[in-house]
A and B are shown apart, each in its own frame.
Chain A
């Protein structure tokens, strides 16, 4: 059983298009995250939801909008895609209880904007 899954794994699209990436976790965790790994390989937090409530919203363009229909899902919608959005996007989840909560990552979605 895949703990954190993302679809699609690869996404190639044209500039200006709107696309969504879906994430699901079956670990029963209450917190989910989106990270972006850019061309320099840095992993940076974008958003975090706890029990469907947005708790972390880093400085990302308004074109990026996360949506959490329930605790097990956190989708990322991107409007008007730009070349600079090309990256690998990772979803993660954790159970926030104490200092030791560990984030578990999905396999990533490689987005290429042409």
Chain B
């Protein structure tokens, strides 16, 4: 039962353009969502998060949008840079300290 899904295994964009990574979830009890970035041979690194009481959170080039009715969130990176090339994981949880449920990840490649 995959409660968090990232349907695009890969995404390729040109440097300077916008990258949009998508994530869908099925469990309506999730109330906190996170995006992690992972480089090869490294652990996931926290990128940005959003609480279910908000619909947008912005941090520099990164913005996360949450559509609760559609159970959908997206990560926008603008402008995209080659250093952003990594696997991006969407994750969700119900309460503080509880397990994170991860999506399967999207490999983003930003071409110079």
Interface residues of A (CB under 8 A from B): 4, 31, 33, 40-45, 48, 50, 55-56, 58, 90, 92, 94, 96-108
Contacts and interface: CB of A to CB of B under 8 A. Distances in A.
Given A42-B102, A42-B104, A99-B32, A108 B43 contact: yes
B89 interface: yes
A45 B44 contact: no
Contacts of B100: 43, 45, 103
Contact of B102 (A43, A50, A100, A108): A43
Contact of B42 (A41, A42, A101, A108): A108
Contacts, number: 61
Interface of B: 31-32, 34, 36, 41-46, 49, 51, 87, 89, 91, 95-102, 104-105
Contacts of A40: 104
A31 B97 contact: yes
A94 B100 CA distance: 12
Contacts of A41: 87, 104-105
Contacts of B34: 102
25 contacts: A33-B99, A40-B104, A41-B104, A41-B105, A42-B104, A44-B102, A45-B100, A55-B97, A56-B98, A56-B99, A92-B43, A96-B97, A97-B96, A98-B96, A99-B32, A99-B96, A100-B32, A100-B49, A100-B96, A102-B46, A103-B46, A103-B100, A105-B36, A105-B43, A108-B43
Nearest to B32: A99
A107 B42 contact: yes
Contacts of B87: 41
Nearest to B107: A41
Which residue of B43, B95, B99 has the most chain A CB atoms within 10 A of its CB atom?
Answer: B43
Contacts of B97: 31, 48, 50, 55, 94, 96, 101
B104 A107 contact: no
A44 B4 CA distance: 12
Contacts of B101: 45
